[in-house]
Amino acid sequence: MLHPLTDQEQQRRHKLEELEKLGVEAYPSALFDVTFYAKEILDNYHPELNNFQEVSLAGRLMSSRVMGKASFAELMDTSGRIQLYVNRDEICPGEDKTLYNSVFKKLLDLGDFIGVKGHVFVTQVGETSIHVTELKLLAKALRPLPVVKEKVDEATGEKTTYDAFTDPEQRYRQRYVDLAVNPQVRDTFIKRTQLVQSMRNFLNDKGYLEVETPILQPLYGGAAARPFKTHHNTLDMTLYLRIANELYLKRLIVGGFDGVYEFSKDFRNEGMSRFHNPEFTQMELYVAYKDYHWMMDLVEEMVERVAMALHGHTEIRVGEHVINFQRPWQRLTMFEAIEKYTGKAIGEMDEAALRDTAHELHVKLDPSMGKSKIIDEIFGEFVEPKLIQPTFITDYPVEMSPLAKKHRDRPGLVERFEAICNGKEICNAFSELNDPIDQRKRFEEQLELGKRGDVEAMVLDEDFLRALEYGMPPTAGLGIGIDRLSMIMTNSNSIQDVLFFPQMKPEKLD
């Protein structure tokens, strides 16, 4: 028990006992056949057609006005709310009115799940309603839902909702209550599912294969991040929750697949913020015989398709901005972007000069940071927050990208891009490094960074190097953050708003 029972909770348990005495099952086992949903009826009922004359609905009891032998109530199902009209003489025919008087008038509570059967009609005030002929209790709610009050402006008719369940921590911790009393929250998650389905359809239409790769890995790799660690008892070995699935997907390209993708749960043991959750979702795609220029075109096409699927147009309001995902997007190299927003040309600087520049710009550094980290800090401080419209940042320093192929024309750079939108990265992509000798050297450089104290440096994966030695064709790779993209597409301010159950601190119990 999370806390001592309140008076209301004690009253509901007493009603449960009374129901049992009357022989009414509070949690019946038999199925209840739902034939229609509230929205379907409200959208399609026409009195002149006399349709919906036999309906069966189920959902929560959200309001009740008992007036003698006739009562009005409101039922909420997964599609919305609809009014019920209940007449005692019709649901309890005969002389014995005990069931109606005891159950409906006294023992049912708001939040209880009920099932009703009847026919549809329009009340004298013009409200489409269900004339109930059968009513059944399906599940007793032992805790009351937070009360949501509405006030209507008599002059304008505008409705204002006063919600008793607005505290973000409560909403994230008790998502089940949030969804029950704030139906609009469901729309966010419906759109998230539509987003994933739209991407999946797009990739399937291209002929790429959806696959699954290990979540528990003996070596973590594919990104610069700190992992979660666990232990397998039978094998007596340390395993890690994956931080990315890149290295396994590239093994499949080695094996002969031309295009593979995965929607994956990844885990990074790092800080939390409104943009970061330790468990998050990525879609990673690898396509043989392509490069990062080709992948930029595909990302534009795919995200534009997602916007159209969710909203019917490419312009999306996000906070105070209207973001347009119509192709083509702006493209800047990383050094061009940094010079544009800081006035500093850092392309030829060594580590010492970069540190001096960061100091001039008041960017905080620590001794473990090498060139790549310093550049990343400058970019994150001065450039990324200013990129509101979708923008490709291309051609990163080689030190920042241990898994990307060296640039074909510009020494010291790699063929990499990130798509930045609303001030945050939404995807990362490379022309993938397929030279096993160069890859080994890059891994060894990462080991040196680890010795300097960089806890996010990559580890050396001998099996992945062995796979590359068997030969991997030229390949373009992509990772898209589904949570970040969902935030933008649903105009959500926090990553917690697009996760059903975000990670939370332990709950403090009274």
Give the residue numbers of the binding site: 418, 425
What single-letter amino acid sits at 222? Answer: G
Tokens of 378: 């400058």
Tokens of 18: 């009374």
Residue among 173, 187, 202, 329 at smallest CA distance from 263: 202
**Polymer length of the chain:** 510
Answer yes or no: are the C-beta atoms of 478 and 250 closer than 8 Å.
no
Query: Measured between alpha carbons, how far is 15 from 201 in angstroms, rounded to an integer?
Result: 50
Answer yes or no: are the C-beta atoms of 457 and 241 closer than 8 Å.
no
Distance separating the N- and C-terminal Cα atoms of the chain: 11
Query: Measured between alpha carbons, how far is 45 from 121 in angstroms, rounded to an integer?
Result: 8
Answer yes or no: are the C-beta atoms of 321 and 388 closer than 8 Å.
yes
Location of structure tokens 């935030």: 487
Distance of CA 419 to the CA centre of its chain: 19
Residues comprising the binding site for Mg(2+)?
A: 418, 425
In three-state secondary structure terms, 263 is strand
Alpha helices in 343-499 (DSSP H): 351-360, 371-382, 436-451, 462-469, 482-489
Sign of the four-CA dihedral 50, 54, 60, 64: positive
The DSSP secondary-structure symbol of 48 reads G
Query: Measured between alpha carbons, how far is 203 from 285 in angstroms, rounded to an integer?
Result: 9
Answer yes or no: are the C-beta atoms of 356 and 374 closer than 8 Å.
no
What single-letter amino acid sits at 143? Answer: R
Q: Residue 123: which residues within 8 A CB-CB, separation 6 or more?
A: 83, 85, 129
Answer yes or no: are the C-beta atoms of 476 and 416 closer than 8 Å.
no
- Beta strands 279-288 and 259-267 are antiparallel
214-239: buried (b, 16+ CB within 10 Å) or exposed (e) per residue?
A: eeebebbbbbbbebeeeeeeeeeeeb
